[in-house]
């Protein structure tokens, strides 16, 4: 049975000194590199926003990071500006082994909508094409790792389940933002939906 390793958003802005630093984010690079060595299919995802992106607090007057606003597709946490396309912050962590990647999926490039998941934008409808790619390659089982456990990895895992894949999430290779209980909420949802937390 074919499986794929999906490495979510291991980018400078989510690592130490980055614009949206995830605590201990750097610590997952070494374990992920080991998993990359053993994987038959490797997909990397990259958060890739235009400067005027609607998820940036800076683009909403009077807002500060971590405020929550209502958008046409639901509530949206506002973030410090991060992973702006073409900047150093959007590049992969310098020690991540990107050489064996079969494909890189970029997401969050439409200014009006965020995309935590590497399968669908936050409207839960607009696809990135990843499902089709995996299906065409005969992939049935996914291992999801990366940043952040409670946002992009969790949203990707839930979409993957909804798309009919079996999903493993080794938590030693993920780290969380954990804003206002977001990690506990995500872990509960992941378990309920059949994601295997290992």
Interacting residues with ligand VGL (CB under 6 A): 9, 14, 47, 79, 116, 147-148, 151-152
Which has the closest alpha carbon to 130: 119, 120, 138?
Answer: 119
Which residues lie closer than 8 Å to 22 by C-beta, 6 or more apart? Answer: 14, 15, 147, 148, 175, 176, 177
The catalytically annotated residue of 9, 26, 47, 150 is 9
Which residues lie closer than 8 Å to 52 by C-beta, 6 or more apart? Answer: 59, 111
Q: Is 13 in the site for Zn ion (CB under 5 A)?
A: no
Q: Is 9 in the site for Zn ion (CB under 5 A)?
A: no
Least gap, CB of 146 to ligand VGL (angstroms)? 7
**Considering CB under 5 A, how many residues would be counted as binding Zn ion?**
1
Q: d(Cα 116, Cα 62) in Å, to the nearest integer?
A: 24
Q: d(Cα 23, Cα 176) in Å, to the nearest integer?
A: 7
Least gap, CB of 102 to ligand VGL (angstroms)? 20
Q: 107 catalytic, yes or no? A: yes
Residue number with CB closer to ligand VGL (51 or 135):
51
Least gap, CB of 13 to ligand VGL (angstroms)? 9
The catalytically annotated residue of 83, 152, 159, 174 is 152
Stretch that binds Zn ion, among 44-52, 154-162, 168-176, 182-190 (CB under 5 A): 44-52
Q: 137 catalytic, yes or no? A: no
Q: 152 catalytic, yes or no? A: yes
Least gap, CB of 83 to ligand VGL (angstroms)? 7
Residue from 13, 21, 26, 47 binding Zn ion (CB under 5 A): 47
Active-site positions read 9, 107, 152
* Residues in contact with Zn ion by the rule CB under 5 A: 47
């Amino acid at each position: 049975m074919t499986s794929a390793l999906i490495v979510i958003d291991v980018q400078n802005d989510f690592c130490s000194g980055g614009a949206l630093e995830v605590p201990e984010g750097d610590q997952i690079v070494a374990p992920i590199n080991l998993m990359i060595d053993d994987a038959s299919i490797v997909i990397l995802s990259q958060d890739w926003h235009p400067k005027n992106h609607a998820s940036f607090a800076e683009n909403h007057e009077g807002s500060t990071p971590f405020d929550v606003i209502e958008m046409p597709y639901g509530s949206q946490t506002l973030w410090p500006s991060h992973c702006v396309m073409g900047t150093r912050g959007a590049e992969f962590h310098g020690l991540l082994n990107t050489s064996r990647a079969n494909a890189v999926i970029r997401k969050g490039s439409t200014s009006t909508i965020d995309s935590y998941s590497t399968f669908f934008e936050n409207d839960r409808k607009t696809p990135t094409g990843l499902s089709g790619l995996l299906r065409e390659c005969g992939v049935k089982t996914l291992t999801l790792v990366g940043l952040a456990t409670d946002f992009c990895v969790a949203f990707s895992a839930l979409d993957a389940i909804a798309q009919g894949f079996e999903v493993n999430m080794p938590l030693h290779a993920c780290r969380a933002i954990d804003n206002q209980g977001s990690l506990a909420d995500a872990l509960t949802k992941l378990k309920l939906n059949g994601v295997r937390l290992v």
